Amino acid sequence: MTSIVQAERLGKQVQSGSEPLVILHDVSFEVAPGESVAILGASGSGKSTLLGLLAGLDVPTSGTVRLDGSDLFAFDEDGRARVRGKLAGFVFQSFQLLPALSALENVMLPLELQGVADARERATRALQQVGMAHRLAHLPKHLSGGEQQRVAIARAFVMQPKILFADEPTGNLDAATGAQVIDLLLELNRAQGTTLLLVTHDEALARRCAKQLHLAAGQVSA
């Protein structure tokens, strides 16, 4: 089966004083369509840097990434943004909801930006899928952390992305709520066939994904 995500000899280094600091070195792996993959590693191991490179949010020092066959770094920043817009959704640790918009309006926003005619109906269905049908009109400040993350997940999945990047999506949640959020991500991964790449430090949560990639000393092992 053709890979939907392919990292090819990825390297990333930054200048630290007079010496280069190697964050990632010669990282290569492939992810099959619909697969759920957890990227594990200690704090500061480069997990979020790797996810940023895979999504084209950052530029590698060496190597490249292919998303659904497209060589991300053959494009300029605008080109990479177009590839992301077509293929990818994102869920972050900090939820990234707009505080002045209701739950429904937050989920409608990416649809409206794409000129989707039935944005309200699609956003409502997405919120129903994540168990938030009773909170459509609530502002983020009136929602718990777990509820805000459910809204963020609905916003990511409402665009029906082929790939979902999730960066420590349970990092601001207690263990029980975090487990529920992972349940939801994996359920939507299965139901929609969305490829899931999940950064986490929690090995118990990571084991629920089909594949685990361990990041240490700038390199990845399965």
**Model pLDDT for residues 11-24, shown as the tens digit of each residue:** 999 887 788 888 99
| Residue where the block lists tokens 């997990």 | 47
For position 46, what pLDDT does the model report?
Answer: 86
- Which pLDDT band holds residue 122 (cuts at 50, 70, 90)? very high
Structure tokens at 73: 């770094």
131-141: per-residue pLDDT in tens? 999 999 999 99
- HEC profile for 146-192? HHHHHHHHHHHHCCCCCEEEEECCCCCCCHHHHHHHHHHHHHHHHHH
The domains found in the chain, sorted by start residue, are: 34-58+87-221 (3.40.50.300)
d(CA 184, CA 154): 10
Q: Which pTM was predicted? A: 0.90
Name the β-bridge partners of 198: 38, 166
Mean pLDDT score, 56-83: 93
24-69: per-residue pLDDT in tens? 999 999 999 999 999 998 887 889 899 999 999 999 999 999 999 9
CA distances from 177 to 138, 169, 171 (A): 19, 11, 10
Residue 132's contacts (CB-CB under 8 Å, 6 or more residues apart) are: 103, 147, 150, 151, 154
List of E strands, 17-139: 19-31, 36-41, 62-67, 70-71, 88-92
